[in-house]
Amino acid sequence: EAQVTQNPRYLITVTGKKLTVTCSQNMNHEYMSWYRQDPGLGLRQIYYSMNVEVTDKGDVPEGYKVSRKEKRNFPLILESPSPNQTSLYFCASSGSGGDYLTQYFGPGTRLTVL
């Protein structure tokens, strides 16, 4: 089954404790993105990657890091989380095949930073 998976689905942590949210897709997609969803703001892009070792900032990159060492994986790293990063995070991927230009989303990771 074609899908985007994220782990963990729920995470409660404390300020300053480094964490990583993993994202993996099995569709051989070139593009991957991270978004955060906040009430009343919709989804905003954090970072995106056009292929292995190619990443770029989205609209709200501050406080986040990403890496793309393998095509299927795109982890989101919060090196020193703060309470304002409490949010619902989505990973998405899209490819150059038949469903070109269509982003498919993972199930989301709800992060709470205390």
Partner 1 sequence: AQSVTQPDIHITVSEGASLELRCNYSYGATPYLFWYVQSPGQGLQLLLKYFSGDTLVQGIKGFEAEFKRSQSSFNLRKPSVHWSDAAEYFCAVDFTGTASKLTFGTGTRLQVTL
Residues found near partner 1 in the complex (CB under 8 A): 31, 33, 35, 40-45, 48, 50, 56, 58, 90, 92, 94-95, 100-108
Q: If you compute the radius of gyration of the chain from its CA atoms, what whole number of angstroms results?
A: 13
User: Which whole-number Å values give the CA distances from 96 to 16, 37, 74, in the listed order?
Assistant: 38, 26, 18
Task: Please identify, using beta-carbon distances, which residue of 33 and 85 lies nearer to partner 1.
Answer: 33
What are phi and psi for residue 28, nearest 5 degrees? 60, 35
Query: Smallest gap, in angstroms, from Cβ of residue 18 to partner 1?
Result: 25
Task: Please identify, using beta-carbon distances, which residue of 82 and 100 lies nearer to partner 1.
Answer: 100
